[in-house]
Amino acid sequence: MPGDEVIVPSLTFVATVNAFALNLIRIVSLIVFVFFLIRIGISPLFALLTLVLCIGIINEVNLTHYYSVYPFFMPFLLLIISLFGICLTFGCHRRIWSTILSGFSIGLFGSFVCNLRSSYYPIILALLCIFVIFTILDLRQNYSFSHVRRIVLPIFLIISFIIGLNLFNRIYIRPLNKLGVTYNLTYHVVAHPLILSLANPQNELSKREGIQWKDAVGLELAKKIDPSVKYLGPNYEKALFVYYCKLWIYYPEEMFAIYINKMKIAGHHLTSQINKALKKYKSLKSTTLRLILYPMHLLPNGIFYLIFFAGLSLVGLVSFKYINLGFAFGLTALAVSGTLLLLESAIIYPYFVITLHNYLLFWIFFCGLLFYQVIVNLLYKFTGIIFLKRSEKQVHQLSVENADEVNG
């Protein structure tokens, strides 16, 4: 009938809107992070450079995985750090109801992020621990709070976070588990990549055991322990864990050597590959990026990256007494996240893949920016001291001259 037509948007239009919405979520997450940086005292220029850097990384991931979860890894992890940090800087941890609401809300979002990538669970829990530590440190310095309040607030924070974490899983994840699907899981298996990753890089043990970075090989290895096991079946992970433990029992020296070698590759392979790629272009952008990357590229291997990242984590934690609360938390949270993701990269896949290691790429560039920021701060302080001494000397000379005139 005329007048009853229904306007159906084209598939191209819907796809465009969806693409715009997905990228908008990522950009907004980064803007919140930049707000957090400025909130804790980072210069607007440094914050702007960080935003440009992050958007550049997202665009690189978007080239091949626009509609995937991969472009969300870095923005969402930075968003969680920002949410914790903003709560800390606004004093939400000092009031009971804001503590409960903050912990619950971040717990909900943290559970969502963990279900995007299961290996982020330790990172999210580590961030919670860091937030609790800084909450306790701050409350201890504030003598207006009673002893009971200093104990109760961190407890309420932890409980509300756990409730939010579990509530998301109960509402959205548990129903999927009840479907009884055997060919897929709501979480990423652990033992499967843990064993297959022993072939990255190839070594005598992996060749001898027939270990390869292929999913089908996992089932073959599991059948060595339990011939009746099925791929991703109930006993699949258990069989692979038994096999993994046996490798450590029978070949401890080889296993240790494998992980030392993987640790040397992790992180350093990233900077080497990025530096090599940037050398191909003779533009101001590539030169600037290489300059930012240069301090980290000087580190000889991934073990030094691990020591440096862990050291920054410790610096952030102990600097609480000397710098503002938010900055100390931000440095600690960013460094701990980078440390844990570097370890994950070393354990599973040490070679740089931007889809998997986009946060690690951000953190290494961020460390380069921090290096230059520290140099600028030191130069400013040094020149300020020299100027102050000259001014004091001039004032002293003028006072001596005035005294001579008065006496004369």
Q: Please, are residues 164 and 111 in contact by the beta-carbon 8 Å criterion? A: yes
Residues 6+ apart with CB under 8 A from 344: 119
- The pLDDT assigned to 105 comes to 95
Q: Which of 318, 315, 314 is nearest to 374 (CA)?
A: 315
Handedness of CA 389, 391, 395, 398 (dihedral sign): positive
- The pLDDT assigned to 1 comes to 42
Q: Please, are residues 361 and 61 in contact by the beta-carbon 8 Å criterion? A: no
In total, the chain counts a number of residues equal to: 408
- Tens of pLDDT, residue by residue over 343-388, are 999 999 999 999 999 999 999 999 999 998 888 878 877 776 555 5
The torsion angle over the Cα atoms of residues 392, 394, 399 and 404, rounded to 10 degrees, is 150
- The pLDDT assigned to 161 comes to 95
Contacts 24+ apart (CB under 8 A), 226-234: 230/182, 231/183, 232/182, 232/183, 232/184, 232/185, 232/189, 233/182
- The pLDDT assigned to 130 comes to 96
Q: Which of 342, 347, 351, 331 is nearest to 123 (CA)?
A: 342
- The pLDDT assigned to 408 comes to 54
Half-sphere exposure (Cβ direction) of 161: Cα atoms closer than 13 Å: 22
Q: Which residue stretches of the chain have pLDDT < 70?
A: 1-11, 13, 143, 179-186, 384-408
Q: Please, are residues 75 and 29 in contact by the beta-carbon 8 Å criterion? A: yes
- Alpha-helical segments (H) within 251-357: 252-265, 268-279, 284-297, 302-318, 325-347
Q: Which residues of 38-75 are buried (b: 16+ CB within 10 A; e: fewer)?
A: ebbebeeebbebbbebbeebbeebbeeeeeeebbbbbb
The torsion angle over the Cα atoms of residues 283, 285, 290 and 291, rounded to 10 degrees, is 110
- Tens of pLDDT, residue by residue over 274-284, are 988 888 888 88
Q: Reduced to 3 DSSP states, what percent helix, strand and coil does the chain have, rounded to the nearest 5?
A: 80, 0, 20
The torsion angle over the Cα atoms of residues 86, 87, 90 and 96, rounded to 10 degrees, is 180
SS3 26: helix
- Tens of pLDDT, residue by residue over 48-99, are 999 999 999 999 999 998 888 999 999 999 999 999 999 999 999 888 999 9
Distance CA 60, CA 71 (A): 9
- The pLDDT assigned to 232 comes to 79
- The pLDDT assigned to 180 comes to 64
The DSSP result for 169-210, as a single string, is IIIIIHHHHTT--SS--SS--SHHHHHHGGGSS--HHHHHHT
- The pLDDT assigned to 149 comes to 83
Handedness of CA 150, 154, 82, 326 (dihedral sign): positive
Distance CA 237, CA 331 (A): 36
